[in-house]
Structure 1
Amino acid sequence: MSKRKNTAGGYDFFILIPTIVLLGMGLVAIYSSSSFLAAHRYQDSNFFLAKQGSFVLIGFFLLFIIKNIPVEKYKCLVYPLLFICFILLVMVFIPGIGKKVGGAQRWIKLGPLVLQPSELVKLSLAFYMAYSMSKKADYMSSFTKGLLPHLMVAGAFMSLILIQPDLGTTVIIGSWMIILMFVAGMNIFHLISIVIVSAPAVYYLITHELYRINRLMAYLKPWEDPQGFGFQIIHSFLAFGSGGLLGVGLGNSKQKLLYLPESHTDFILSILAEELGLVGIAFIIMLFLILIIRGLKIALDAPDLYSSYLALGVTILMGLQVIINMGVVMGLLPTKGLTLPFLSYGGSSLLVNMAGVGILMSISARK
């Protein structure tokens, strides 16, 4: 096989195969977890499956386009993409365009499409951070030249996301940036300072909103209010406990019968645990580990600093979302309202993750 074919047309199957398997499991899980709800709410048991299936097809189209374009070509789109994301975040608050769900205004409605701009922000910031940190590689330990510009750009987006309100996404983006900048050479003193300064603000935001207090209480003492703030996580525990080693079988979950809220989105892993058991969950974790380890390997082997930071950013972001979602549904972390990549229902999240896979495959093909 020629070098040209290797570098321009090769497919990284350590990335592609786990992605395809996870997507397949996700579609099955979405149908299983949502069919009863969809029939009850929309009189169509396939409602959520059909919508997610269409996003999977669009996602594959997006993946293969991005995979076949060298990532260097996207450098010229870094700032236009940031500008578009900023406008989309502002549009969230415009009456008639922004859509409120569950008390949070995080979506915009454009005709038949409902988009969550904060998901696109994650990808835009990955491009921006890779581009900027590679240009300022010699200054990353500096506060004014290395740290401050990145904090100002990300801070503008995080502020808009925070007032939606979406503290979970804000914390994830902030944590992701700190990890990425630390790897790029950020001064450890600056890192500690950011954590110290941010901690009181996060504490204030949590303790001055009742729903955030309830989420914290659900994490700390769910059994004190099993019909209130502890309801969701308790039913997640029941799902995991009912699954045992091999599960109750696909389609046989009891928690999906309107007992477990968000069973097809944030808590889809709970339904998978009930139906597939410990063996099924171990298999899912293995697939994610393959993806993340391969992503880190691609970052290490990347041909230049920009590609390396981009692969690292995409991989760390995906890994954080997996760890946090799994931690939440198992009661190890407070509820964040975060989907599980490739498995949970949600078009915006799926398309961004598919784009991330395309980026990793593009870098892998040209290393």
Structure 2
Amino acid sequence: MNRVKKKSNKKAVDFMLLIAITMLVFIGIIMVFSASWPVGMSEENDGYYFLKRQIIWSAMGFLGLFIAMNFDYRKLKKWAPYIFFLSIILGLLVFTPMGAEIKGARRWLDIGPIRIMPSDAIKFGSVVFFAKFLANKRENIDTVFQGTLPALIYIGLACGVIIQEDLGTGGTIAITMMAMFFVGGMNILHMAPLGVGAAGVFYLAINDPDSSYRLARITAFIDPFADKLDTGWQLVQSLYSLGSGGVFGLGLGKSRQKFFYLSEAYNDFIFAIIGEELGLVGTVIVILLFLIVIWRGIIIALKTEDLFGCFLATGITALIAVQSLIHIAVVTSSMPTTGITLPFVSYGGTSLVMFMTLVGILLNISRNVNFERS
């Protein structure tokens, strides 16, 4: 009897958030299939190669979402330091013989037959661990020695490992954690030295002789058409792709730029293919779905009485918002190329599973929120 009563009192998850995420994942499956067909035929002799893998990863992502949705998220607070430490170790392993270099970038780990991106694990670990830190230090978060300095050390540790692999991903984590810190009540006056330090790190990163491609991306962003056959090629092709789509697009599967004009069309530039095939209408629908996800995430964070749950929901929502915004900004030539995927939509196993698991945690938190569900 007690079990039945306990089960009946269990609240439902935020249905609108769940539907929006599900729609984004299915849009991603369709667009990955369309954008990856030429590469699949050329490199794997199978146009369905990336589609099959994306479906498998999507199924694993829904499994992660379901488990996280039904798991007591409060237990993550106890495990947060171990999750963070493990993610940092995975990030450092990239610099060992286990690390794999693809197209000049060393961002992957080969673990048996599986290839993963440790940066995705660091995103997960950083959000969970920083949420615990902010919840524990709530009363002293605006002080120098108990709030600002420890927070900056944790942010620097998470970003420092990733910046060596990918400046864009490091920036994504930095902005996400700073957003959490701001919500937690940081002292803005303490951030002045941080701004100077961040500018210095950015300068050194783009002028690193071993990473000359970063400076090339900056110069290409300023005027991609000045060198459209070399450094500006990607951005120019992305703009051609978006522009040729018009209002209603060329039609699903009818993209021209995906035929080896636009590299990573199914990954880093998938939003451009959406614009080319589905037009302005398709891009607006995708943006609206992301806005729904962000809106529901903000509501959940605001309504959550548990401090750890509040900061965790804030971090998850900020991560989704920051990464999707950066991807769209890159594709529309509003910022330099960074190689950032579009959450839930772009091809990529570890990224998809990680984001869907995080959304599962967000849905879990929503079960403990008292608000009217749509």
Category of TM-score, reference length = shorter chain: over 0.9
In structure 2, distance between residues paired with 1:124 and 1:28? 30
Report what 1:352 is aligned to.
Answer: 354
In structure 1, distance between residues paired with 2:203 and 2:95? 25
| CA-to-aligned-CA distance 1:227-280 (integer Å, 9 cap, x gap) | 101111111111111100000000000001111011000100000100000011
Look up the equivalent residue of 1:273 and give its one-letter code.
Answer: G
Deviation for aligned residue 1:113: 0.7
How has the CA–CA distance of structure 1 residues 85 and 259 changed in structure 2, closer, same or farther, with 3 Å as cutoff? same
Deviation for aligned residue 1:7: 6.1
SS of 1:71 mapped into structure 2: coil
In structure 2, distance between residues paired with 1:214 and 1:183? 35
Look up the equivalent residue of 1:121 and give its one-letter code.
Answer: I
| CA-to-aligned-CA distance 1:90-125 (integer Å, 9 cap, x gap) | 221111x11111222111111111111111111111
Q: Does 1:55 align with 2:57?
A: yes
SS of 1:258 mapped into structure 2: coil
Report what 1:216 is aligned to.
Answer: 218
Judge conservation of contact 1:178–1:191 (CA < 8 Å) in 2: no
Deviation for aligned residue 1:71: 1.0
In structure 2, distance between residues paired with 1:340 and 1:162? 19
Judge conservation of contact 2:11–2:368 (CA < 8 Å) in 1: no
Question: Pick from 254, 279, 282: which aligns with 1:280?
Answer: 282
After the TM superposition, which of the residue ranges 192-201 and 346-355 deviates more from structure 2? Answer: 192-201
Look up the equivalent residue of 2:185 and give its one-letter code.
Answer: G
Report what 1:328 is aligned to.
Answer: 330
In structure 2, distance between residues paired with 1:242 and 1:5? 53
After the TM superposition, which of the residue ranges 328-337 and 143-152 deviates more from structure 2? Answer: 143-152
Report what 1:114 is aligned to.
Answer: 115
How has the CA–CA distance of structure 1 residues 152 and 227 changed in structure 2, closer, same or farther, with 3 Å as cutoff? same
SS of 1:8 mapped into structure 2: coil
Judge conservation of contact 2:221–2:336 (CA < 8 Å) in 1: yes
Judge conservation of contact 1:120–1:352 (CA < 8 Å) in 2: yes
Report what 1:66 is aligned to.
Answer: 68
Report what 2:13 is aligned to.
Answer: 11
Deviation for aligned residue 1:53: 0.8
Report what 2:191 is aligned to.
Answer: 191
Report what 1:135 is aligned to.
Answer: 136
After the TM superposition, which of the residue ranges 63-72 and 173-182 deviates more from structure 2? Answer: 173-182
How has the CA–CA distance of structure 1 residues 21 and 190 changed in structure 2, closer, same or farther, with 3 Å as cutoff? same
Judge conservation of contact 2:61–2:353 (CA < 8 Å) in 1: yes
In structure 2, distance between residues paired with 1:335 and 1:8? 45
Judge conservation of contact 2:141–2:147 (CA < 8 Å) in 1: yes
How has the CA–CA distance of structure 1 residues 7 and 280 changed in structure 2, closer, same or farther, with 3 Å as cutoff? farther
Deviation for aligned residue 1:86: 1.9
Look up the equivalent residue of 1:359 and give its one-letter code.
Answer: I
Deviation for aligned residue 1:88: 1.0
Look up the equivalent residue of 1:182 and give its one-letter code.
Answer: F
Report what 2:37 is aligned to.
Answer: 35
Question: Pick from 260, 266, 269: which aligns with 2:268?
Answer: 266
TM-score, scaled to structure 1: 0.96
Judge conservation of contact 1:7–1:365 (CA < 8 Å) in 2: no
Deviation for aligned residue 1:8: 2.9
How has the CA–CA distance of structure 1 residues 283 and 4 changed in structure 2, closer, same or farther, with 3 Å as cutoff? farther
Deviation for aligned residue 1:4: 5.5
Identity of aligned residues (%): 38
In structure 2, distance between residues paired with 1:187 and 1:24? 42
Report what 1:178 is aligned to.
Answer: 178
Figure out how many residues of one structure are paired with residues of the other and give that number. Answer: 364
Judge conservation of contact 1:6–1:365 (CA < 8 Å) in 2: no
Judge conservation of contact 2:126–2:158 (CA < 8 Å) in 1: no
Judge conservation of contact 1:7–1:366 (CA < 8 Å) in 2: no
Judge conservation of contact 1:302–1:363 (CA < 8 Å) in 2: yes
Report what 2:372 is aligned to.
Answer: none
Judge conservation of contact 1:243–1:275 (CA < 8 Å) in 2: yes
Report what 1:363 is aligned to.
Answer: 365
In structure 2, distance between residues paired with 1:106 and 1:59? 21
Judge conservation of contact 1:8–1:366 (CA < 8 Å) in 2: no
Judge conservation of contact 1:146–1:186 (CA < 8 Å) in 2: yes
Report what 1:294 is aligned to.
Answer: 296
Deviation for aligned residue 1:162: 2.0
Task: Specify every segment of 5 or more residues in structure 2 that has no aligned partner in the other structure, as ranges.
Answer: 370-374
How has the CA–CA distance of structure 1 residues 134 and 50 changed in structure 2, closer, same or farther, with 3 Å as cutoff? same
In structure 2, distance between residues paired with 1:292 and 1:271? 23
After the TM superposition, which of the residue ranges 152-161 and 110-119 deviates more from structure 2? Answer: 152-161
Judge conservation of contact 1:247–1:273 (CA < 8 Å) in 2: yes
TM-score, scaled to structure 2: 0.94
